């Protein structure tokens, strides 16, 4: 059994990751389950840089394998904002309501055809010495609604409309979200390479 740390304290992200990993071959632990985990400052200018920072710094500190993810929303009409600042767009980290309010205000005069947006997910796996061993990324495209719709999910989910379903992530069944989300798409790229790496590591 290959054990590694998932570099997040977001319980919903952790569940989404665990459901796509083969439970018989790997054991994923949350940061909250590990003594001595540190808070890594996200000083990168891109999702990829932040994912690498969170993976390598935590791995070196704990002396364990760490899988980190950085994800966020990019809105075309806002020049890619909120981007790497998605979780703290309104100022306080993780204040979903304030972040959604700020986004709606920023787009209040923007018509539907210019409200295109993308959820981005970047994964990075570091070995215990702090070397990047695997990276993967993907995105899911949609459009920003004019008001919140649905209570499921987290973050910007109630505002992110998936065109094919004409519903937001906040309205979609969790199984559907897991099938099409940016995170699950990135994980589907990551997992086969991850399993080959584990096998090679013996």
Active site amino acids: 70
Q: Cα–Cα distance between 6 and 10 in angstroms, integer?
A: 10
- The pairing of beta strand 167-168 with beta strand 160-162: antiparallel
Q: Cα–Cα distance between 187 and 50 in angstroms, integer?
A: 17
Q: Cα–Cα distance between 144 and 146 in angstroms, integer?
A: 7
For residue 70, the Cα-to-chain-centroid distance in whole angstroms is 5
Token output for 90: 């309104």
* Residues tagged in the binding site annotation for substrate: 8-13, 71, 154-157, 177, 182-183
Map residue 69 onto helix, strand or coil: strand
* Residues tagged in the binding site annotation for Mg(2+): 41, 70
Q: Other CB atoms closer than 10 Å to residue 33's CB: what's the count?
A: 11
Q: Write out the H or E segment, with its range, that includes residue 116.
A: strand 116-126
H-only helix segments in the chain: 11-19, 47-62, 96-106, 174-180, 182-201
């Amino acid at each position: 059994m290959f054990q590694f740390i998932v570099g997040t304290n977001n319980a919903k992200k952790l569940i989404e990751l665990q459901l796509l990993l083969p439970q018989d071959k790997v054991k994923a632990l949350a940061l909250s389950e590990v003594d001595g985990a540190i808070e890594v400052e996200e000083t990168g200018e891109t999702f990829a840089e932040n994912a690498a920072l969170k993976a390598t710094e935590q791995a070196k500190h704990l002396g364990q394998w760490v899988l980190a993810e950085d994800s966020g929303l990019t809105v075309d009409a806002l020049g890619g904002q909120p981007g790497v600042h998605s979780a703290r767009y309104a100022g306080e980290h993780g204040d979903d309501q304030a972040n959604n309010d700020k986004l709606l205000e920023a787009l209040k005069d923007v018509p539907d055809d210019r409200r295109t947006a993308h959820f981005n997910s970047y994964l990075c796996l570091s070995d215990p010495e702090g070397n990047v061993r695997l990276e993967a990324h993907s995105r899911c495209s949609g459009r920003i609604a004019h008001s919140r719709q649905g209570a499921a999910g987290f973050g910007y989910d109630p505002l992110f409309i998936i065109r094919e379903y004409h519903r937001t992530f906040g309205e979609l069944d969790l199984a559907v979200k897991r099938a099409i989300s940016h995170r699950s798409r990135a994980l589907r790229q990551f997992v086969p390479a991850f399993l080959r790496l584990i096998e090679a590591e013996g």
